[in-house]
Structure 1
Amino acid sequence: MSICAKPGHPQFSGFHGIVVPGTLRDSLYALDGLLEQNTSLKPQRLISDTGASSEMVFGLFRLLSYQFSPLLADIAERRYWRMDRGADYGKLNALAAHRIDTRLIAAHWDDLLRIAGSLVTGTVKASELLKVIGVKPKGSLARALEAFGRVPATLHLLTYHDDPQYRRTIGTQRNMQEARHSLVRAVFGGRRGELRQPYRAGREDQLGPLGLVLNAITLWNSRYLGLAVEHLRAQGCEVRDEDVERLSPLRFEHIHLEGRYAFTLAEAVKQGGLRPLRDPDDVLHE
């Protein structure tokens, strides 16, 4: 999964680390992370895969003013909902054949707001909440949350069909997350990305340093990518903004992840300066 601090502004650095079971509703654990994170980031959108989506999940995210934008592999099987049975949607009339029970939402609106308040204050976690209210047969509160979630779920489907930029943003974010996973596996080295500690606390202790290293690499790459772009433009080279947007700070081929490390710094770097940019034609740096 990945987040956007703002729509159209991908977030490359990690914001939280949590050990979760491999369930289909791992988006709820991501929501836990969004609510528990203590960084200065203000995420607005979370992008995930198909398995993490459900109408209840859409409802919880919308209650908390987050935009949930999953990449749906089963989009042809999704339902499209309407609030007004008599509304005329033109060619979409046959598609939007199911009506949202607005009376059920209204009857439980205060309860839904209390759920949102409990999640924000940390009284309950989203992952734990759905385990309780999502069991079958579903109670009226669960059905109200599901009905409410059908509104943002349908809007997501319609926007996905109608807006090419929206589709590209979701695809780009998913590709970025896969690139981050590749970096994780590389940093883990011989452990192949496996957390070997037997207890949850020990695993989360491993996640902390891992996240720190990943963010350090991301920050390093971002800083020097920016310097390289500025240098090329200063030399009169044409560097288009659309090409800069495609640059990724998650590349790691140039970083030595194994062996011994020397932390002897040049005097200029000790004083807060930056290392000189590498000349790609200099064979000594190959």
Structure 2
Amino acid sequence: MGLKFYRPSSDVVYQHIDSLFHDNIVDWDLIQTHWQDLLRVAISIQEGKVLPSMLLRKLTTYSRKNRLYQAFHALGCVERTVFLLTVISDVKLREVIHRATNKVEQYNALEDWVRFAGGGTMYAHAFEEQEKLVKYTGLLTNCIILDNTLEISAALNALAREGYRPSIDELAALSPYQTRHIKRFGNYEIDFSAVPALIADDLTFQLELPAPPEVIEAVQEN
């Protein structure tokens, strides 16, 4: 299923991107008719009176006959079209989305690395067992991330004490999803009597913030 762009009206024609829209037109009349209903639903969700998951289940039931669902769909088409056009025209936004996507993929890869038993396949049929597997995997994954963060912070502080302060760009290249130093297979000895040390992940040195773009451009021109 491809991405669909919606025209604001049938009379609108675009010079360079008209082929993206085809015959899809926003149903403004439907949105206007149910606008108050849309607002009431949004306010109910915001105030916690209605769970989004419950609302979706109700709206998707007989969706072709549910006018409120159709109104939400029409409004969503507008929002999606505006967002897609913004992504196409904004390079920096695409970079932000790309970085965020990479972070999510790295986290998912770490979860897959943690859930190595059974090839990562969930064989349990009971919902409770499936829920345990998901939660325990997330717990172990976050434990690894926390430990990596503490180790990285300690290493950076040690470098700072030796006189080297990493830059913002160098810090941005670091990742808490490292696994090369972890022995995944083997025996694990857990000492419940041991008292863990206090968590101290704060950096003990000041970071030099990058210069604004206009300053960099002025320096390059000179």
* TM-score (ref. length: structure 1): 0.57
Q: How does 1:42-81 map to 2 (within 5 A)?
A: 74-75=2-3, 78-81=4-7
Distance 1:140 1:155 in 2: 23
- Relative contact order, CA 8 A, sep 6+: which one is greater? 1
Identify the residue that residue 64 of structure 1 maps to in structure 2: none
Matched, 1:172 2:70: no
SS of equivalent to 1:100: coil
Aligned position for 2:142: 215
AA of the residue aligned to 1:261: Y
Distance verdict in 2 for CA 1:224–1:200, change over 3 Å:
same
- Counterpart residue number, 1:277: none
Please, which runs of 5 or more residues in structure 1 have no aligned partner? 1-50, 52-73, 275-286
Specify the code of the residue in structure 2 equivalent to 1:190.
Answer: A
Report the counterpart of residue 211 of structure 2 in structure 1. Answer: none
Counterpart CA distance in 2 for 1:181 and 1:89 is 40
Aligned counterparts of 2:62 and 2:81: Cα–Cα separation in 1: 22
Q: Give the match for residue 115 of structure 1.
A: 41
Aligned equivalents of 2:65 and 2:148: distance in 1? 49
Q: Which protein has the bigger helix share?
A: 2
- Equivalent pairs counted in the alignment come to 195
2:126 to 171, 193, 199: 199
Q: 1:85 and 1:162, CA in 2 relative to 1: closer, same or farther beyond 3 A? A: same
Which residue in the other structure is 2:216 paired with? none
Separation in 1, partners of 2:19, 2:185: 59
2:30 counterpart of 1:101: no
User: Does structure 1 retain, via aligned residues, the 8 Å contact 2:7–2:25?
Assistant: yes
- Determine the C-alpha separation between the residues in 2 that align with 1:273 and 1:153: 43
Mapping 1:1-286, distance limit 5 Å: 74-75=2-3, 78-82=4-8, 98-116=24-42, 117=44, 120-123=48-51, 125-134=54-63, 137-237=64-164, 239-263=166-190, 270-272=196-198
Post-superposition Cα deviations, 1:53-78, rounded to whole Å, max 9, x if no partner, equal: xxxxxxxxxxxxxxxxxxxxx45xx3
For residues 177 and 94 of structure 1, the distance between their equivalents in structure 2, rounded to whole angstroms, comes to: 32
Distance 1:168 1:126 in 2: 33
CA contact (8 A) 1:184 1:193 kept: no
Contact 1:81 1:150 in 2 (8 A): no
- Is the CA contact 2:6–2:81 (under 8 Å) kept in the aligned structure 1? yes
CA distance in 2, matches of 1:255, 1:95: 48
Note the alpha carbon deviations across 1:104-159, whole angstroms, 9 max, x for none: 1121123223433258434552552343153xx35422221111112220121112
* Secondary structure, aligned partner of 2:120: coil
Distance in 2 (CA, whole Å) between partners of 1:250 and 1:110 is 46
In the alignment, the residues of structure 2 paired with residue 152 and residue 178 of structure 1 have an alpha-carbon distance, to the nearest angstrom, of: 25
Which amino acid letter does the alignment assign opposite residue 240 of structure 1? Answer: S
Distance 1:184 1:160, change over 3 A: same
- Point out where structure 2 has 5 or more consecutive residues left out of the alignment: 201-222
TM-score (structure 2 length as normaliser): 0.71
CA RMSD of aligned residues (A): 3.2
Task: Report the 3-state secondary structure (helix = DSSP H, G, I; strand = E; otherwise coil) of the residue aligned with 1:204.
Answer: helix
Larger Rg: 2
